[in-house]
Amino acid sequence: MVDFRVSVVLPAAGIGSRMGCDIPKQYLKILDRPLLSYTIEAFERVPWIETIVVVGPVTERRKQILENIVLDCNHKKVVTACGESTRHGSIYNGVRYLNTIEQKPDIIIIHDAVRPFIEERLLKEIVVAAQRHGACGVVRPLVSTVLARNTSGFLDHSLDRSKFVASEMPQAFQYDVILNAYRK
């Protein structure tokens, strides 16, 4: 059982430039709903998550799109905050927003707005670990070969994969830990 306050920050201010579409991927429709709505829904299904801060775009047009998604899809736990030009700036705005509410969370989950496939079991594991240790994130073993270059830019040697892991989402933090980290 999760017996402490948990909120989520979903950065959704990106423009999706790597995807090469005119519309940011979080707003692309799948079965008549924006991808972002599925991610929000996944977190709203978790009963112990209290607030979901969707950190949206800085342009008025895209801000209106985000607000329409929240209304049209009947999302109840969502509040919106204004994003920045960088992912870190947007996440910080979401964390700072939570500092303005009366009952601040004990734990904040940070997750990608375009990744709707998330299980409550995993969320519970990371928030319990974050409550105990200050922070917790999902990692996976590296399977690709990782190469180091020399100062001339040529491949020099491969790194020992057993010493590294790839960081994934979601990540969870004690509220004060993540707020103080961003302030520094």
Q: Is residue 157 part of a domain?
A: no
Q: Is residue 16 part of a domain?
A: yes
- Do residues 50 and 78 touch, judged by C-beta distance below 8 A? no
Q: Is residue 83 part of a domain?
A: yes
DSSP 103: S
* Helix ranges restricted to H, the chain: 35-44, 60-72, 87-98, 120-133, 175-183
> CA 36, CA 82: separation in Å to the nearest integer?
16
Q: Is residue 163 part of a domain?
A: no
> CA 94, CA 79: separation in Å to the nearest integer?
10
Q: Is residue 152 part of a domain?
A: no
- Greater confidence, 150 or 13? 150
Query: Per-residue confidence at 184, pLDDT binned at 50, 70, 90?
Result: confident
Q: How large is the angle between the packed helices 87-98 and 175-183, nearest 10 degrees?
A: 130
| Mean pLDDT value across residues 130-145 | 95
Q: Which residues fall within 8 angstroms of residue 166, CB to CB, at 6 or more apart?
A: 139, 140, 141, 142
Q: Is residue 57 part of a domain?
A: yes
Give the model's pLDDT for residue 8: 98
Give the model's pLDDT for residue 67: 87
- Greater confidence, 18 or 51? 51
With residues binned 3-state (H G I as helix, E B as strand, rest as coil), the percentages for the chain, rounded to 5, are 35, 30, 35
> CA 12, CA 25: separation in Å to the nearest integer?
9
Q: What is the pLDDT of residues 71-102, one digit of tens each?
A: 888 999 999 888 888 889 999 999 999 999 99
C-beta atoms surrounding 166 within 10 Å: 12
- Greater confidence, 57 or 138? 138
Total domains in the fold of the chain? 1
Closest CA to 81 of 7, 131, 154: 7
Q: What is the pLDDT of residues 96-111, one digit of tens each?
A: 999 999 999 999 999 9
Average pLDDT, the chain: 91
With a cut of 80, say whether residue 32 has pLDDT above it: yes
Q: Are strands 165-174 and 107-110 parallel, antiparallel or unpaired?
A: antiparallel
Q: Is residue 159 part of a domain?
A: no
Q: Is residue 145 part of a domain?
A: no
Range of the domain at 38: 6-137+170-183
Query: Per-residue confidence at 17, pLDDT binned at 50, 70, 90?
Result: low
Q: What is the pLDDT of residues 115-135, one digit of tens each?
A: 999 999 999 999 999 999 999
Q: Find where tokens 């736990």 sit.
A: 77
